[in-house]
Chain A
Amino acid sequence: MPKQINVALIGNPNTGKTSVFNALTGLNQKVGNYPGITVEKKEGVCKLPRGVKAHIIDLPGTYSLNASSLDENVVIELLLNKKDKDFPDVAVVVSDVENLKRNLLLYTQIKDLEIPTILAINMSDRMKYKGIKLDIPLLEKELKTKIALISTRKNKGIDQLKELILNFKELSILPCVNSSEIDTNYFDGLQKTFPNQLLYKLWLVITQDVNFGKTDRNEIDAINSFKTKGKADLKRLQQKETIKRYQFINNALKKGQTIDLKSAKDLRIKLDRILTHKVWGYLIFFVILLTIFQAIYDWSSVPMDFIDTVFASLSEWTKNSLPQGAFTNLIAEGIIPGLGGIVIFIPQIAFLFLFIAVLEESGYMSRVVFLMDRIMRRFGLSGKSIVPLISGTACAIPAIMATRNIESWKERLITILVTPFTTCSARLPVYLIIISLVIPKGRFIGLSYQALTLMLLYLIGFGAAIFSAWLLNKILKIKSKTFFVVEMPNYKLPLFKNVALTVIEKTKSFIFGAGKIILAISIVLWFLASYGPGDEFNNAEDIVNTEYGLQNLSADELQQKIASHKLEHSFIGIAGHAIEPAISPLGYDWKIGIALVSSFAAREVFVGTLATIYSVGNDEEETIKNRMAGEVNPITGGPLFNFASGISLLLFYAFAMQCMSTLAIVKRETNSWKWPMLQLTIMTAFAYVVALIAFQILK
């Protein structure tokens, strides 16, 4: 017996496969990616009786071995490759007791690969409720394997499943269906050419458009000669095969399963009558979206403020208790605020995924897709894209992570690319201060101009997202299935354990995936703002002291002047000066340039940076505003922040990709630097052009 048994969990979506995985492994699990693709790889360790351990891999949910997505490819690539280190000693097919017939299709396919296969029938607690009775010994005989009747909800049958895994060698490996009967001549020819190969395996290799890079090359090349049949012919054979499998399944279930429809109760019909209703359905979904929005926008502000305070005092404490010097500054001003910049997102991410996990687990998310499909498909988006797009109005980071459950890669990619256009909460401080400076206080039919402007900015953001989605849908040439088949699962009460594990796992994946990049960039930005070349930076104290020495400034005011002088001559200050020629056509000066460069860390930094440049002690909004109102444009001599430059700045912030954390998460979610870099270039260029046009017309 091997020290560690390799187990693959396989099953249809919505069968509670992940619950079984969680029940087997508990917290002994890790989530990674399959090399080179963005499919999640979940694996864990399970302790079996008698000190044996099992390595469990939770394969993506699939309805059959005929793959139609990247996720499903993973399943078939593993099952066909005996040399893979994860190749299962035993497969566990998880199925839903309420939909056994359909679930068994996948089971018969895996059986036909002659892999020892345990059938785990989940949700057995629902049997009485649905009037289902199973004759397990008879089914075991018909299906040629051992069955574990389990309920992850009631925590039943898991020990029996572990026992079966432990004794996997006793399982029969006889196939269920002889698929060669669908075209005897063809299959005879195949078998003659490859006498040592399993027929069903050959058939899968022929019919699947899968990358078999890891399997034996010669074998595959020879098989190509059998791809002579046209696509339509192959598909007809696949249909025949499917019918044949259902015949086998129906036969087995006729003997082993009885359903008393009279005693079956159906909550689904009642709920769906309201939740998918043409009016109520949308209304209820709107209320749910509002609640999610409220949670990430409002409820999470309490823990976020707390995190902010903790990191600020931690930085202060470090500065005071460690010996002065460059190293202390690095920790206190670079690393700690950098870490704070990662941790600050946790409340929003946790809240959003709490809601998403509940919506997914309960089965409601499929109804959302059903309701939104027609509207979203026009723009090349999925019905599921509505959740990321709306939650993007709070923050793009959790929103982009939420695109994971969009199955089609093209729809998911488009959603990821356009989400940063929606007006996130970090733009708000920038918008508010500029609007109050440049938009007149008057009212238009009872609505203040300022409020209208803010609303307009939200609409512009959403419009830009939708428009660019439409455009990307036309441009992107990604081979992606366009058909739409969405299962509408039964409504279920979400399991706390599953929801909690999703929230923990998403948070972890943010911290370790995107967090590293965020930390690195914030340290670089800190360095650029705290160091500078030449005497102007290094002798800032002396220079400022000489200049203002006679003016009787207070110690505080003098410190502010020094900080301002230092920032102006730091690397970032030099960058701000350097880009002045490029941004003066937009109506900005070098000070705004510095704020633009440093607010790349996060948009809200804009206000704080201006506060430092204008040497305003605290970031009290009124003080900065007064200071900004007094700024003079060096070219025109008029106020720097006027209507034209204000609108130009607002538009720039509406469109520009001014957020390193978003870039980091896009890199993580698309597994390449190509997309975030494209986003950065195109969005910023677009923002520049729009701001330029706006300023030139309005000035």
Chain B
Amino acid sequence: MQVTLADIKRGQQGIITDVSSIHIPLKLLEMGCLPGNLVELVQVAPFADPMYLNINGTHLAIRKETAIHILIDITNA
């Protein structure tokens, strides 16, 4: 199922399929947010924003406004 990263629930995992490189900072790409890499939602702050993710072994937090520009395939429901 293809959704944006902003839609996944805590504990869910997915494979990044596409990133809108114009809308997201290069820094995020460099930290491993690239197509093909595994992503997992570790924790969310109140109102699901920001999101605490594990991307390709790197743990980081991004805002929802960034997450909507990352497409993923959910691998575990």
Contacts and interface: CB of A to CB of B under 8 A. Distances in A.
Given A64-B27, A101-B57, A272-B52, 12 more contacts: A99-B58, A102-B56, A238-B29, A243-B34, A276-B45, A366-B61, A373-B45, A483-B24, A484-B62, A484-B63, A487-B58, A488-B61
Interface in A415-460: none
Main secondary structure of the interface of B (DSSP, over half): mixed
Interface in B33-64: 34, 42-43, 45-47, 49-50, 52, 56-63
Contact of A63 (B19, B27, B61): B27
B31 A276 contact: no
B66 A484 contact: yes
B27 A102 contact: no
A239 interface: yes
Contact of A373 (B19, B50, B60, B66): B50
Nearest to A377: B63
A268 B27 CA distance: 23
A374 B47 contact: yes
A276 B43 contact: yes
A101 B30 contact: no
B42 A272 contact: yes
B60 A486 contact: yes
Contacts of A235: 21-22, 26
Contacts of A369: 61
B11 to A, nearest CB: 11
Contacts of A273: 43
B30 A63 contact: yes
Nearest to B24: A483
A239 B59 CA distance: 20
A485 B22 contact: no
A467 B27 CA distance: 32
| Chain A interface residue bracket vs B | 35 or more
B61 A242 contact: no
Given A246-B34, A485-B27, A374 B59 contact: no
Given A272-B42, A485-B60, A232 B22 contact: yes
The 6 closest A-B pairs by CB, nearest first: A488-B59, A483-B25, A486-B61, A64-B30, A239-B21, A370-B61
B30 A242 contact: yes
A698 to B, nearest CB: 41
A99 B57 contact: yes
A374 B49 CA distance: 7
6 contacts: A242-B29, A242-B30, A483-B25, A485-B31, A485-B60, A486-B61
A373 B63 contact: yes
A63 B30 CA distance: 7
B25 A481 contact: yes
B1 to A, nearest CB: 25
A56 B68 CA distance: 43
A488 B60 contact: yes
A655 to B, nearest CB: 32
A512 to B, nearest CB: 34
Contacts of B45: 276, 278, 370-371, 373-374
